[in-house]
Amino acid sequence: DHQLYIDQALNIDRTVDDAVAEHSLNPQNIEAEIRKKLLPVLFNLIGMDKAKEVIEQIIQITRLGLAKQDS
């Protein structure tokens, strides 16, 4: 069902935004928060291996976004 994936994409976006807002001074806390919030949800949706891959991609994108903000 496409709506499930759309809803999850929006959830990921909110989770990243919230983590950045809460932990803006500490990138490690941002990453830990993203992992903590997304792993259980993505595990149920796509399994552990894929969930870890997706989360690593999300964290890489977040790092790039934060680096752009700092420059």
Select from 64, 2, 67, 13 the least CA-distant residue to 37: 13
Cut 0.85: pTM above it: yes
**pLDDT recorded at residue 69:** 81
- Per-residue pLDDT of 18-60, as tens digits, reads 999 999 889 999 999 999 999 999 999 999 999 999 999 999 9
- Report the distance separating Cα 66 and Cα 5, nearest Å: 25
**pLDDT recorded at residue 1:** 76
Select from 10, 15, 33, 27 the least CA-distant residue to 66: 27
Q: Please work out, in degrees rounded to the nearest 5, the angle formed at the alpha carbon of residue 1 by the alpha carbons of 54 and 34.
A: 25
